[in-house]
Amino acid sequence: MTTKNIILFSKMHGLGNDYVVINESEETVIPEDKKPSVVEQLCKRGFSIGADGVIFVSPSDVAEIKFRIFNADGSEAEMCGNGIRCFAKFIYENHILEQENFKVETLGGIKTLSLQVEDGEVISTKVDMGLSSFLADDIPMITDKKEFLDDKLDVDKKIFSLTAVNVGNPHAVIFTDDLDDVSLDEIGPLLENHEAFPERVNVHFVRIISPNEVEIITWERGAGYTLACGTGATSVAISGYRLGQLDSEVLVHLPGGDLKISVYQVDGNLGAFMEGDATMVFEGIIELDF
C-alpha cells in the first residue's frame, strides 16, 4: 500500500552536475527500503524534478555530519566531489552545521572540508579527497596485474589504454589527443559495465593541454553523461601525476566549469585537494507515493 508523502527539497548543482538535496539530519524523510525507487522517481527528467542524483544530509556517529549520495538509477555511491560541495553549501546556509571547517562521513571515508564564506554565503569549498589507491583489488578490477596503469583493455573489440584508480569510488582514466573523436554515448556504458569492473566504474577521457591544465569529458556510473565530476577530476589529476604527465597543481576544465586539484603525497601514497563552488537553484516541495 502506498500513501501520499510531501517531500521538502533543494535543487543544487556543482558545475552543472545537478542534485536533489533532502535534509534527514533530524528525522528520516524517505524510508531506507524506499530510497532507491524514490530516487529514481525524483531524478527522472521530464517527469519529475530531474537530477544526476539525490543527496541526503544524515547524522553521523564518527564525524560532524554524514553525506549520502544516490545515483539517478537508485544505486548508492561511495562519494561525489560535486555533490559534497553542494552538501557543504546546503548545510551551512541552512544552519544545520555553522562551521567553516568540519569532517564529513561518506561511504568513501571521512572527508575534511574547508569553506570560504562571504556575508553568510558559501562561495567555495575545498575538500581533502583523501588518499587514492591504484591497487586492482581496491578499485575493484578483475585483472592479473597488481595495478592497471596506462594498460590495454579490450572494449567490444576496441583497445583502450586506461588507468584504473580508486579515489573513494572507482575510475577509469583514458588520455587522448582529441576529445571530439570520442563517442562517449557508445563507449561510456560499455566501459562502465565492463566485466573487468564488478562494481562498475566512472569513465573519463582526458586531453592534456599542459602539465598544469587538462580538459575532460565524463560518463558517470549510474548517471551517464554529466557536465562535471569532482571525483573524476581528482582521479585524472592523480593518475596524470602518477604517470608523470601532469604536475601536482592542475586546472581541470569540465563541460560545466573548472575545478582546481592539488595532489599531495603521504608515505608514497597520493591524495588530493579539490576546490570549487556550488549553486543553489531553487527550493520546493513534491508529493510522491511510497
Active site residues: 80, 229
| DSSP code for 75 | P
CA triple 252-85-208, angle to 5 deg: 10
Q: What is the DSSP letter of 61?
A: S
| Count of other CB atoms within 10 angstroms of residue 241 | 22
Under 8 Å between Cβ of 230 and 276: yes
- Provide the phi-psi class of 43: left if phi over 0, else alpha when psi is between -120 and 50, else beta: alpha
**Upper half-sphere CA count for residue 221 (Cβ side, 13 Å):** 25
Burial group, residue 127, by CB count within 10 angstroms (0-12, 13-18, 19+): buried
Place of cell 569532517: 103
Distance separating alpha carbons of residues 19 and 6, to the nearest angstrom: 18
Residues 24 and 26: their CA atoms lie apart, in Å, by 6
Residues 4, 74, 49: CA angle, nearest 5 degrees: 55
Measured CA to CA, the distance from residue 60 to residue 9 in angstroms comes to 20
Phi first, then psi, for residue 32 (nearest 5°) are -55, -45
Coil vs helix vs strand at 119 = coil
Residue 158's DSSP bridge partners are 155
Three cell numbers written together for 266: 603521504
Question: Residue 178 corresponds to which amino acid?
Answer: D
